[in-house]
Structure 1
Amino acid sequence: MDSTPPVIFKRTKTKSATRTRQASPDNDEEKNAQANGDDSPSTLATKLKNKVKRAKPKSQLSFGGEDEEESGEQAFKVKKSTLSRKLALGTHPASIPLNLEQATISTNRGPTYDEAYLKELKASTPSARPPPLSDPYAADMSMDVEQVSTMAVETTDSFAAEAIIPTETSIKAAKERRERLRKTGASGEEEFISFEEEDEESVEWMEEQLRRGGHLAPASRPSTPQVKQTYKPTPIPAATPIPTLGPAMARLTEQLALLTTSHAQNTAAMTNLAKERAEVAERETEMREMVSRAEDKRAWFESFREWVEGVAGFLDEKYPLLEALEAEHISLLQERFKLSNTRRLAEDEDDLSIVFGPLPVTPPTEPEVDEVDELGRVITKPSPAVQRRERREARLRRRRLRLQQKPRTEEEEEGYSTDSSLPHQDQLDYASALKSLATRTRDVLADVRAEEFIDPGKGRWNIWRERYTESYVGAWGGLGVVSVWEFWVRLESVGWDCIENPRSLDSFKWYTGLYAYSRPGQGEVGENELGPDGDLVASMISTAVIPRLSATIAGGAFDPYSEVHTRRAIDLSEEVEASVEEGNVKVQILLKSIVTSFESAISETETLVTKFKAIRRGPPAFDPEAIPARRRFLARRLKLLKNLLRWRKYAGERFGVGALAKRLVETTLLDVATSGWEVGGEDLARTAATMLPDDLLPHQLKARLAIR
């Protein structure tokens, strides 16, 4: 088994090289190293290679012959030992052992080999080159087999002993030169100074080693010519001026200023940090307070929500009772108006029957049912003549009673002031019904004990507004107050006849409560300014009061033939308009309801006169009662016209009031007055013409009275 003896390096004294190469003049670092007595790394590598070539290692094994000594400078080539030359000549003196184990090493003579061993050794020796190594750098360490087997190196640190580190001066000079060339750009050389520099002999030696180790093919060496390096002298560095005291002081002063500025900035930063820390602590306190207030707010609103739900449940229970009472009150007003209006229409029919003659009796479509009294007796129905006589007697009784209660002037016509009044018994029944209605209205809150449900002003609305104003305003709390307070407003208004009872709005309890709520403060009511809700009284009048007044008037509270009712309607409308904003739509609804009452009265009169005009065939027979009957009928029409024109003076031409007045004169008053023009008709027609403005005078009336 072949074993290659290890390469042993032994520290020895540095020997002077028997052969040296002149380095390239362009290598500044190598020149600096030679000037300083040091060798560059490339020089050290070359010396090491030459040293290996020149060294004649002495074999520690003796093969019976002595190596041929050589001295002097010669080229590198493969030499054969003396033993191999003797073997070639067949002069080996001793017997050769069969193998290496039989060989004996003696100090007197070398080992002996026989012919069989040599053949075996030759057969086991490879004749081809070994395959290339995977690591190309391992070729630098390849050596000749014979040299490895016969060479022993006695030192291990010869390279370390000869490798000298460049001095600080040479390194500094090289750096300054490289920096100067980089700044000036005067040299076309590379921007680094190479320490890994090679000569032609070193390259040839390395390639030969690679070929011997099988890592490089013989013909693979490039045939490009080597560029010859040109010597360039190292430029002399520029002189460095000696620093003086002035610039040094200026530099120190500048550094001191920078340090002062930095210290001031750091001090300011620390001050800001301390301030921010104090602000953070203060903010933390505020946040804790905010959290506490938020928790209190949440708890209060939770309680407020439960209270609102209680109010909602209360209203859900009480509103049906309130609406039933309101409907009953409207029913009483309608029944009262129907009694008076039916009686008036009957009296008008009686008067026209006298003037134009009676209407033909229409046979009933269904058999009449006899009426019975409480005792079961049949009540005989009176004839039309008897009924007219009874109505006239009742009118006279009302007139006498009226004169006893309040004296009137003798100029007033009979029945003029009693058109809207009720008979005594009917009046008592109506008063009893109103009293029962008031009792049941009070019973609506009879089972309620909490003050905040009896008096809405003691609810939690004011607490909400004072404690959480922003939330109150953002949620339109004022509108919520109005919508809830409406129940108590309507409950207090049940049974109020806004025409017969001339009560002002500010006399109600709800008005006083809302007025004070809208003006929070410690002063007297009326002196404080409006709160964030504005005037809630106006909102309540628009939301709840006006619709209620309109329903009451349309239900029969207003009698257009009554001068008292007309004056009251005007006063009430003025009060409502003064309480709300100008142009309120709900006010127009109220005014429309009054005009509708006038229109209904005119339509009923037109229908009645049309019936009698249809049956007229000529002048009626003379009847002494025709003259007062005609005057009574025309007096009622003049009364209606006077009230209508008075309303027009207040409301203007809204909803066609002037056209209604002109229509009343043309279709009813003028026809009846023409039937008795010489016996009072002309006088009443002229009275109507003096009441009407010029733009409302009908053309027929002007022609009849010869008015231009």
Structure 2
Amino acid sequence: MRHAPSVGSYTLTACQLCTTQNLIRALDDCLIHCRLAQAGETEVFKVRKSTYSRRLAKQLERDRKKKLREATRVEVKPEPDPVPTAPPEKPAARPFSDELEIKIKNTFKILNSEEAKGSDSEEEEDGEGDGPRYRRGLRNVIQSGVIPDAATIYALKKQRQMAREMGDFVPLEQEDQKGGRNDEEDQSEDEEGRINFTVNTAALEKQRAREALIQAQEEHSGDEVAREDVAELDRWEQEQMKKGVSTAPASAPLSPSSSLSKRTVPAYFTEPVPPSMTAQDRKNLTSQAVLERVTDRLRTVREMLELHRRQKTQALTDLEVAAETISRLREEQPQLADDFRFFQEMRSYAADLIECLDAKTPVILALEGRMMSLLCQRSERLVQRRHQDVRDQSDECSLAVKGLRGVPVEPANNRGSQQRSWRAAEREGRRVRRRKAREAQQQGLVQQRSLAHYEGMSTDDEQPDTERMAFDKERELILDDARHVFEDVTEQFSGVAALKHRFEVWKTDYGQSYEQAYIPLCLVKLLVPFVRLHMVAWNPIEKPEMPESFGWYETLLFYGNDSPDDPDLCLLPRVVERVLLPKMAALAEKVWDPLSSTQTLNLVRTAKKLSEDYPTVGAHSRHTQNFLAKVAARISRAIDEDVYIPLYPKEVLENRSAAPAAFLHRQFWSCLKLMKNVLSWQGLLAEEPLKELSLCSLLNRYLIVALQACLSQRDTVEKCNRVVSTLPTAWLRGEPLPQLELLTRFLRLYQQHLEGLCTSSSTLGPDMHARAHVEIRVFSPLSSVLLKEALRSPGCMPQLVASPLRLVVDFSSPNVAKPFHVGHLRSTLLGHSLCNMLAIAGHRVTRLNYLGDWGTQCSAC
């Protein structure tokens, strides 16, 4: 249809009117047939209809009766001839339209809810006579066509209320002709109706036809409601007008003599009405405009052709690629099948391996725990024995000091005294055995100079035979259990070699998937349990074995390739970091004895070797930091628990053979040995913690106190020399360390003490000779450092002479027939130094020495 209906004027086209009339007739026939069928049937199950459906049916019935009573007058007006120059004023009056405008004078009235209720029962009361007065008034209001206002509605309500009060019958529900209520009203609105079990198919078909018509009417009424939006209809008309304008060029205009009155209006249209076309104004049409339009059209067609060609080319290319892909996949299908089989096998192997390791890892950890507990128990026994020996010696010295002072001593317990005597006898026996072993070792070393050994510098780590046998037996049991951990699994899960073979095949054949699966990161975790099992008996404190001596290291050494981009290039360093460093940290915390020079040297060598050979063992490593933290904590605990310097009166220490002096002497050398062991960690531990442990905690707190206590003893010079030589050379260069201020002050004090002894004595005895001789050795480390710094300063070295001379310097030499005197040494040193200075200046020097002590005791030239 060409025009949309206008709701405001109720204008319908002829096509719409004919269609509505046909629909009404069909609905009327269907209802009549349905009533006849219902009248002829005796037993029919009724299906409850909704209230809305019943209202629609009643509305249709009322419309039908109303149309039968009233004659519809239709007024057909011919459209005026369109004027080409003037545009149409209304969208409905369009030129060259084949439709006729039909206006219906009898328009529908708008009813409110009360009027709608009255209208529902109006048709049914027509055949029964007039009802109550309020019904007649309501009917008159509705028939008048006027919408009732509030006053009218109120009056109607009052009439209804008065009818109730006067006893008049006000029906609330519609009754049928028999006076009973309709069966379908008795049913609840919430019920869905009864199931029809009848075999009368004709009635069912009629019922379905009735429901279909009602549904069509509902849709038609919904469309009528939707058309009430005037703005939407206007927009639709505008769009339709635009479509009509944008269509193809219209045909030749109709002649003005054509009249719409001669056209016949069909009852209904079987085909859609063609859109109307308007003629174009050809007055302004030029050849250039036509040429441009044709050119644009040609260009558009060419562009479309080119686009289609490209699409065709792309489609052909895609087909070729698809064919090649199909061919390639067919060729790769056997290889892909093998790859799939391999990955399935690796998946199953990895799952079984993880399950195996989940079961065996707790066993491996238990074996490590047993071995660590065994070593820890032995170390604790030795440390406790040393502590008990120190307490026993301290108690004995205290009793001796009290005896020398004449202080009465309480009698000791017999049982405690007997146990102390047994411990003292065992202690002396161990010392004798260590001394003999040391002497035998020194005799075996030919031409090897070593520092003098003092009591207290050896470690008492000897075990009784019973304890050593029990230790060895338990250790063998642990190692035997370790060898049988994987005996109940297959060979492909039992060792590092099988694991390496599996993953090496994966890496060689499928390198890309090997890296995408992050196997280089996971492989270390898979290897750690096997390596830890091999390293159960590894103890770098007793025997510094490097990882290169183990079988697993040789197995993993050539894993991967030599490419610098190989992700498994650091496989061994990562394994060492994950396995060896945690074990070394545990040993340093629980087993290592900082007072043992052998254990300290072994542990330091192992740590330095690992840090030099493996890049993962460094300051950035978390395991390395943990290991060094355990070392520092163990040293600090040893300083607090194992270092003890007794303080006795000066008169007690003058007797070197007395027990108190020997005990002080032993404790001093033991403390000095601990400081030396601490300083052996230089390069591994940080400088500040190392200075704090060695200088502040040991040197300034214990060693200097012991030196001050034995200031007048002969071996004090040797002790000072050992203390200075123990310090790292780097700490003595440059700016003086604040931690060495106490040591420097003590050395100056001791120098003044020696000078006072030399000047006050008229004759230098052998003791003083030895002291003067050793005094040079004491200060030689410090003097050498100061001398080197002085020589570097400008103006210190002699200037070269222009004309060198030949000079002869004669000075005395030691007398081989007599004891060496300090005067001989002084003359020799002066002559030697003078010769060196002259030679540096450029002179040719001849050295002349006396063989005896006669002659000039000073150098001459």
- Equivalent residue for 2:551? 509
In 2: Cα distance, 1:294 partner to 1:634 partner: 77
In 2: Cα distance, 1:195 partner to 1:345 partner: 126
1:446 and 2:487 equivalent? yes
For the 8 Å contact 2:589–2:630, the answer to whether it is kept is: yes
C-alpha displacement of 1:468: 5.5
For the 8 Å contact 1:511–1:537, the answer to whether it is kept is: yes
- Equivalent residue for 1:278? 320
- Equivalent residue for 1:529? 564
Gaps of 5+ in 2: 1-67, 100-255, 258-280, 402-408, 732-736, 752-861
- Equivalent residue for 1:587? 624
SS at match of 1:651: coil
Gaps of 5+ in 1: 1-130, 141-174, 197-231, 370-380, 522-526
In 1: Cα distance, 2:511 partner to 2:411 partner: 73
Paired letter, 1:669: L
CA deviations over 1:166-213 (Å, ceiling 9, x no partner)? xxxxxxxxx9x987x589x9xxxx9858999xxxxxxxxxxxxxxxxx
CA deviations over 1:64-121 (Å, ceiling 9, x no partner)? xxxxxxxxxxxxxxxxxxxxxxxxxxxxxxxxxxxxxxxxxxxxxxxxxxxxxxxxxx
C-alpha displacement of 1:482: 1.4
- Equivalent residue for 1:547? 582
Q: 1:314 aligns with which of 336, 342, 356?
A: 356
1:706 and 2:749 equivalent? yes
C-alpha displacement of 1:586: 1.4
CA deviations over 1:562-615 (Å, ceiling 9, x no partner)? 334333333322233342154212111111222233223221234x44xx55x9
In 1: Cα distance, 2:383 partner to 2:491 partner: 46
CA deviations over 1:12-57 (Å, ceiling 9, x no partner)? xxxxxxxxxxxxxxxxxxxxxxxxxxxxxxxxxxxxxxxxxxxxxx
In 2: Cα distance, 1:429 partner to 1:707 partner: 52
C-alpha displacement of 1:353: 5.3
RMSD (CA atoms): 5.1
- Equivalent residue for 1:696? 739
For the 8 Å contact 1:178–1:193, the answer to whether it is kept is: no
- Equivalent residue for 1:84? none
Q: 1:333 aligns with which of 375, 387, 398?
A: 375
- Equivalent residue for 1:304? 346
SS at match of 1:490: helix
In 2: Cα distance, 1:624 partner to 1:255 partner: 129
Paired letter, 1:320: P
For the 8 Å contact 1:318–1:444, the answer to whether it is kept is: yes
In 2: Cα distance, 1:311 partner to 1:568 partner: 37
Paired letter, 1:706: L
- CA 255–648 in structure 1, closer or farther in 2 if over 3 Å, else same: closer
- Equivalent residue for 1:561? 595
C-alpha displacement of 1:424: 7.1
- Equivalent residue for 1:391? 427
- CA 470–358 in structure 1, closer or farther in 2 if over 3 Å, else same: farther
C-alpha displacement of 1:419: 1.2
In 2: Cα distance, 1:270 partner to 1:461 partner: 49
For the 8 Å contact 1:489–1:510, the answer to whether it is kept is: yes
CA deviations over 1:646-690 (Å, ceiling 9, x no partner)? 323542325454344322234433444444332346335523652
Q: How does 1:20-419 map to 2 (within 5 A)?
A: 134=71, 136=73, 192=95, 267-284=309-326, 300-349=342-391, 352=394, 356-357=398-399, 382-385=418-421, 387-407=423-443, 412-413=452-453, 415=455, 418-419=458-459
TM-score (norm 1): 0.54
- CA 349–661 in structure 1, closer or farther in 2 if over 3 Å, else same: farther
- Equivalent residue for 1:624? 657
In 2: Cα distance, 1:623 partner to 1:591 partner: 41
For the 8 Å contact 1:329–1:494, the answer to whether it is kept is: yes
In 2: Cα distance, 1:429 partner to 1:680 partner: 46
SS at match of 1:677: coil
In 1: Cα distance, 2:620 partner to 2:666 partner: 41
For the 8 Å contact 2:541–2:603, the answer to whether it is kept is: yes
For the 8 Å contact 2:594–2:677, the answer to whether it is kept is: yes
In 2: Cα distance, 1:450 partner to 1:504 partner: 27
Kindly, what percent of the aligned residue pairs are identical? 19
1:676 and 2:718 equivalent? no
Paired letter, 2:625: Q
- CA 507–411 in structure 1, closer or farther in 2 if over 3 Å, else same: closer
- Equivalent residue for 2:175? none
For the 8 Å contact 1:599–1:660, the answer to whether it is kept is: no
C-alpha displacement of 1:400: 1.0
- CA 361–589 in structure 1, closer or farther in 2 if over 3 Å, else same: farther
- CA 707–658 in structure 1, closer or farther in 2 if over 3 Å, else same: farther
In 1: Cα distance, 2:392 partner to 2:70 partner: 148
Paired letter, 1:697: L
Paired letter, 2:353: V
- Equivalent residue for 2:670? 636
In 1: Cα distance, 2:437 partner to 2:703 partner: 30
Paired letter, 1:490: R
Paired letter, 2:317: K
Larger radius of gyration: 1
Paired letter, 1:559: D
- CA 346–399 in structure 1, closer or farther in 2 if over 3 Å, else same: farther
TM-score (norm 2): 0.46
- Flag the structure with more relative contact order, 1 or 2, with Cα contacts below 8 A and sequence separation at least 6: 1
- CA 642–261 in structure 1, closer or farther in 2 if over 3 Å, else same: closer
Paired letter, 1:412: A
- CA 533–438 in structure 1, closer or farther in 2 if over 3 Å, else same: same
For the 8 Å contact 2:456–2:667, the answer to whether it is kept is: no
